[in-house]
Amino acid sequence: MEIYYRGSEAFENPYPDHQRDIGSASERRQVDVVQVVGERYGQRQEAFFDEETGLLLALREGLTAEEQRWHMKRCAKEPPVWTTIYGNYQPIHGVLTPHRLVRGSNQLPWAVAIHLRIAYSGNEPDLSEPGQKRGTQCGAL
């Protein structure tokens, strides 16, 4: 695995309809960008860390170069790129952990919000029912 620091840039939430799901992660933020390249298959991911808090704000990933060539030949359109936004960080046994994720793609007109219940060290997670929110239309990504 190779890791590269790509510098600082402004990051804007690509899923504005999910602002409530990810809280402050929905605002335009200055981030440090780190690119991770898998040695075996060439997978590439970009991780966006909030400059102010140091927390992981988002992860962007796409197809490998070989998969992109196949996709362009077969589908005649841009290959998909998936973005996951992390929000609602809460401490669990002293570890800040994201409890909400929003994931979508440049190929889909919608994104999915995921609400997590997490426990560490063999403890049981809080099983109370979270507030229900149906998926919303996010428009073209």
d(CA 128, CA 125): 9
Instruction: Encode the chain (141 residues) as per-residue pLDDT tens digits.
Output: 888 999 999 988 787 776 665 665 556 789 999 999 887 777 889 999 999 999 999 999 988 888 888 888 888 888 889 999 998 888 887 888 888 888 888 887 677 877 777 777 777 776 665 554 444 333 332
pLDDT in tens, 71-103: 888 888 888 899 999 988 888 878 888 888 888
Contact 112, 104 (CB under 8 A): yes
d(CA 29, CA 51): 8
Q: Which residue has the tokens 């933020």?
A: 29
Q: What is the pLDDT of residue 139?
A: 32
d(CA 93, CA 122): 11
